[in-house]
Amino acid sequence: MSRMAATRDGYGQALLDLAANEKVVVLEADLGKSTKSLHFRKEYPHRTVSCGIGEQNMLLTAAGLAASGYVPFASTFAIFTERAFEQMRNGVARPNLAVHLCGSHGGTHTGTDGSSAQSIEDLAIFRTLPNVIVLHPCDDVSTRLLTNQLADINQPSYTRTARNKTPVLYDGREDEIEIGKGVVLQNGDDVAIIACGVMVSEALKAAEQLADQGISATVVDMHTIKPLDEDLIGRLAEKCGAIVTAEDHSIIGGLGSAVAEYLSSNLPKPLERVGVKDRFGESGQADEMLELMEISSPFIAEAAIRAINRK
């Protein structure tokens, strides 16, 4: 049984790692206990800026800090980052200020809080902004490593983390994590499943189900949505000839769309996109939500067979 953890814990740990850099500052909008920036706040209160329940102000306060030579990490729930989208667009992305925004509690996996808290469009909207790196890691280890790497990159970013625990995949595999590089977790020849976030472990389960039917699948953790690892997608399309994407996010605009954009322009191959089908969620347990949204492992396996049949 593998270790279980939530990606948001990796974010909190990374902030502590980064504290040695005195230019690192943390901004909160009354959700530090949830996003896990609270650990930094407790240790380094003078470098933590409480913005109250005011996300718009938080984003631009971070921009002012970045323009003054600091390295700001700001977090709130994924859904509330969307309230500050124009601040992110005009005040952060446009002047290319290295503000690092983390939205926790992303996706329907967030669970019983219900549809208001289940951001299913954050990856899509931030992906449209020039200069902005978009990350959605699958476990605490990779979240910690990717967040640490962000501090050395002089451009803004959005990272989605999740509330609930999922299997940890990278204990002992820390060397494989690099911004912009998808990770091949399992090799197979018949189909490639490209997943992000909480769907990576579902994709691995789907690969097992496919193996039972004699189908061998490659599984990729595409933790970086932008810039997309196009080289890897191209190689997988050539090798497997069929692709499935899997994300706890709207079918419109996220990882599936990014992969479709690349394939349709460069290497048309059958693609099936598993994601939230243009609808809102509701209250339910995390695993119940993945089933209700038809994105849990059996749905990924079905999509893989559909993609293979279209070859």
Partner 1 sequence: MSKSISELEELARKCRVEIVKMVHRAQAGHPGGSLSEIDLLSALYANYLRAKPDDPNWDDRDRFILSKGHASPGMYAILAEMGFISKNDLESYRVLGGVCQGHVDMKWCPGVDFSAGSLGMGLSFGMGCAVAGKLANSKRNIFVMLGDGEIQEGSIWEAAMAAKHHELGNLKVILDRNRIQNDDFCEAQMRMFDIPAKWQSFGWNVMEIDGHDMNEVIKGLDFLIDNKDNPAILVAHTIKGKGVSYMEDNPSFHGAAPNDEQFKQAMEELGEVVA
Catalytic residues: 55
Query: How does DSSP assign 245-309, residue by residue?
Result: EEEEEETTTSHHHHHHHHHHHH----EEEEEE-S----S--HHHHHHHTT-SHHHHHHHHHHHHH
Nearer to partner 1, 155 or 283 (CB): 155
Nearer to partner 1, 112 or 128 (CB): 128
Contact between 43 and partner 1 per CB under 8 A:
no
Pick the closest to residue 60 from 19, 18, 89 (CA basis).
89
The C-alpha atoms of residue 148 and residue 134 are separated, in whole angstroms, by 14
In the block, residue with structure tokens 């933790």? 223
Q: Tell me how long the chain is.
A: 311
Stretch that binds partner 1, among 33-41, 58-66, 189-197, 202-210 (CB under 8 A): 58-66
Q: What angle separates helix 297-309 from helix 199-212, to the nearest 10 degrees?
A: 60
Question: What is the closest distance, in whole angstroms, from the C-beta atom of residue 84 to partner 1 in the complex?
Answer: 9
Contact between 19 and partner 1 per CB under 8 A:
no
Question: What is the closest distance, in whole angstroms, from the C-beta atom of residue 129 to partner 1 in the complex?
Answer: 14
Contact between 54 and partner 1 per CB under 8 A:
yes
Nearer to partner 1, 92 or 162 (CB): 92
Contact between 177 and partner 1 per CB under 8 A:
no
Contact between 155 and partner 1 per CB under 8 A:
no
Contact between 130 and partner 1 per CB under 8 A:
no
Query: How does DSSP assign 127-167, residue by residue?
Result: HTSTT-EEE--SSHHHHHHHHHHHTT-SS-EEEE--SS-EE
Task: Please check whether residue 222 is in contact with residue 194, taking contact to mean a CB–CB distance below 8 angstroms.
Answer: yes
Contact between 181 and partner 1 per CB under 8 A:
no
Of 5, 18, 26, 65, the one binding partner 1 by CB under 8 A: 65
Contact between 156 and partner 1 per CB under 8 A:
no
Of 5, 25, 198, 293, the one binding partner 1 by CB under 8 A: 25
Q: List residues binding partner 1 (CB under 8 A).
A: 25, 46-47, 49-52, 54, 56-70, 72, 86-87, 90-91, 94-96
